[in-house]
Amino acid sequence: MIDKIYCAQVKPEMEGQRVKLAGWVYRKREIKDKVFIVLRDSSGIIQTVFKEELSKEAYETAKKTGIESSVIIEGIVKQDKRAPGGVEIQADKIEVIQNVEFFPITKDASPEFLLDVRHLHLRSPKVAAIMKVKATLIQAAREWLLQDGWYEVFPPILVTGAVEGGATLFKLKYFDKTAYLSQSAQLYLEAAIFGLEKVWSLTPSFRAEKSRTRRHLTEFWHLELEAAWMDLWDIMKVEEELVSYMVQRTLERRRSEIEMYRKDLTTLKNTEPPFPRISYDEAIDILQSKGVSIEWGEDMGADEERVLTEEFDRPFFVYGYPKHIKAFYMKEDPSDPRKVLAADMLAPEGYGEIIGGSQREDDYDKLVQRILEEGMDPKDYEWYLDLRKYGSVPHSGFGLGVERIVAWILNLDHVRWATLFPRTPTRLYP
């Protein structure tokens, strides 16, 4: 019995060897007395050819086999420069596991239709390439975090209060109480630093935002870090080293997948620390000099960030934002009470924010005051305030939007393509 191997394992130097492959019919064409089936599996594709002279039974079966049929094919490896990868299989045996007479996705399918049949679209090699890049980015993140002494923790998804503002909370009934889906694991990570000092988590986060920009989802994957004894500048150094490692390792391991989406790799290769740093004040000056209508104190949205990224050929930081446009937990800048010790990392080429981070407010009284200023009830944050009563220390953290960094690396036109089943204000199916 021949053991099954993957398509990508078949190499030209294996010429003359008999192999068994299992997968799905990706492409099919008939030319005179030959049937060509391009087989795909999770590793890639390979061309197989059926001839009546090799096996009439296999040839006739191949003729009747439709696109996306699941099959097991056996044959002899033969070098052929015209074939994908320079090799094909001279097939003499095909077992059809399930024949598909008509597959609903065609080359002219619209983006909305592809999202309607996302469960089928996921089998496309180009979609698989996105998911491979995403998996490799997370693998690289884990490697770096392990090497740098960070502990992975597993915070709750059901929570009782807001992190990023009550207007974007998804509310649900929790027995006889009200609960919400987590917007961020941050507050729980802050609790964990008192025992572990440097912690991280990878969780889904939920934002009931009705934003319809190319960088918003209502459910996204959130890589978050929190560390004791670090100020804003310390955590920015962590961010750039982590992101650089993620990008460079992924570029090494998934270059062929990345090049399916972008040919120019300059900005990815440039992703080496230290990243440029500009103040919010400088960012406003740059935008105004380029004709953007924005005043000091206003938040920068997707349009403003896109213009700002034109000035850079790698990720960069904007730091020192006005206090009133940032979250309650960010520490006031002691040198300028109008500002907070916060920094966002922006990706070049128009992609904008991929990380939001800050030094956290570690003073109990100041944190209570900020909660009140935001119109929230300190009682809802009693446990969080306890962290400032029992051994409070300077600490900082950040959250990285996984789909956003994938979208930048692959030059995608929307973050919805960077997740298995995107959730937006208008899409909950499939």
For 390-414, the pLDDT digits (tens) are: 999 999 999 999 999 999 999 999 9
pLDDT at 210: 85
| pLDDT tens-digit series, residues 206-259 | 999 887 789 999 999 999 999 999 999 999 999 999 999 999 999 999 999 999
pLDDT band at 161 (very low <50, low <70, confident <90, very high): confident
Beta bridge partners of 223: 202, 400
Q: What is the average per-residue pLDDT within 347-367?
A: 98
- Clarify whether residues 121 and 62 are in a common domain: no
Prediction pTM value? 0.97
Shared-domain flag, residues 225 and 285: yes
274 preceded by cis ω (within 30°)?
yes
- Structure confidence at residue 291 as a pLDDT band (50, 70, 90): very high
pLDDT number for residue 333:
98
- Summarize the confidence of residues 72-94 as an average pLDDT: 95
DSSP 151-193: EE----SEESS-SS-GGG--EEEETTEEEEE-S-SHHHHHHHH
Q: Does the residue 2 lie in any domain?
A: no
Q: Which residues of 363-381 are buried (b: 16+ CB within 10 A; e: fewer)?
A: eeeebbebbeeeebeeeeb
Domain assignment of residue 383, yes or no: yes
What is the pLDDT at residue 162?
A: 79
The answer on 87 and 192 residing in a single domain is no
End position of a domain, from candidates 98, 131, 147:
98
Determine, yes or no, domain membership for 380.
Answer: yes
Q: Tell me if 315 is assigned to some domain.
A: yes
Q: What CA–CA distance (Å, rounded) separates 40 from 43?
A: 8
| Residue 109 domain-assigned (yes or no) | no
Number of domains forming the structure of the chain = 2
Would 79 be classed as within a structural domain?
Answer: yes
Closest CA to 187 of 381, 357, 411, 322: 381
Measured CA to CA, the distance from residue 28 to residue 383 in angstroms comes to 62
Mean pLDDT taken over the chain: 97
pLDDT over 70 percentage in the chain: 100
Q: Is the domain of 125 the same as that of 206?
A: yes
Contact between residue 86 and residue 79 where contact means Cβ atoms under 8 Å apart: yes
Q: Does residue 375 sit within a domain?
A: yes
Q: Write down the pLDDT at residue 138.
A: 98
The residue with tokens 């299989």 is 89
Same domain, 137 and 81: no
- Domain identity same for 92 and 119: no
Domain match, 141 and 231 both:
yes
Residue 183 sits in a domain of what CATH number?
3.30.930.10
Do 200 and 151 form a contact (C-beta atoms < 8 A)? yes
- In this predicted structure, the answer to whether residue 271 has a pLDDT above a threshold of 80 is yes
Q: What is the pLDDT of residues 22-35, one digit of tens each?
A: 999 999 999 999 99
77 and 171 in a single domain? The answer is: no
Query: Dihedral sign, CA of 398, 403, 406, 412?
Result: negative
**Pair 86, 137 in one domain:** no
**Domain stop point among 65, 98, 131:** 98
Domain assignment of residue 146, given as a range: 115-418
Query: Containing H/E element for 49?
Result: strand 44-51
Band of the pLDDT at 201, cuts 50, 70, 90?
very high
For residues 46 and 137, membership in a common domain is answered with: no
Give the pLDDT confidence score for residue 166 in this predicted structure. Answer: 79
Q: Where are the alpha helices (DSSP H) in 197-326?
A: 232-253, 255-258, 266-269, 280-289, 302-309
Using alpha carbons, select from 251, 165, 246, 162 the residue that is nearest to residue 200: 246
Same domain? For 27 and 154 the reply is no
pLDDT at position 212, please? 79
Is pLDDT at 165 greater than 80 in this prediction? Answer: no
Q: Looking at the structure, do residues 94 and 177 belong to the same domain, yes or no? A: no
Range with lowest mean pLDDT among 2-16, 151-165, 294-308: 151-165
